[in-house]
């Protein structure tokens, strides 16, 4: 049995297959996922699992060099933005309109759906290298 933190087989497989500058997205329960984008649905019920729980779990296994967030998170969910900055303090952030973030999901290896029910709790993680 796997010893590391991500034990969901689909998610672990996606992370293991990523290379430098590939994208993985994590988001709230309401984020529309483009046709053709793999969706890993972890949502069980409202707020379970939370966006931050899933993000922290993924970060334990994935090197991240850059993140993309919806510009709207600044005003509509500043608490979530602060939490993201706390777990990724040295990672550059690009803010884009939410409409663009939704379009960019089609460029990700997968979208991980959480049970999060707060607005604009969506992120695109760009993989870095560990060497």
User: Is 68 among the annotated ligand-binding positions?
Assistant: no
Active centre residues (catalytic): 20
User: Is 66 among the annotated ligand-binding positions?
Assistant: no
CA 95 vs CA 27, 55, 68, 69, 124: distances in Å: 15, 18, 6, 5, 11
Annotation: binding site: 28, 98, 120-122
Annotation: binding site for substrate: 28, 98, 120-122
């Amino acid at each position: 049995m796997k010893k590391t933190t991500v034990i969901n087989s689909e998610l672990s497989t996606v992370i293991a297959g990523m290379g430098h500058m590939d994208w993985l997205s994590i988001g709230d329960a309401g984020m529309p996922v483009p046709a053709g984008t793999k969706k890993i649905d972890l949502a069980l019920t409202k707020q379970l699992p939370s966006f931050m729980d899933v993000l922290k779990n993924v970060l334990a296994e994935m090197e991240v060099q850059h993140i993309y967030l919806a510009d709207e998170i600044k005003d509509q969910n500043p608490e979530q933005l602060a939490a993201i900055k706390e777990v990724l303090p040295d990672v550059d952030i690009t803010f884009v309109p939410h409409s663009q973030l939704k379009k960019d999901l089609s460029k990700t290896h997968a979208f991980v759906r959480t049970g999060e029910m707060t607005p604009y709790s969506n992120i695109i993680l760009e993989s870095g290298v560990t060497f």
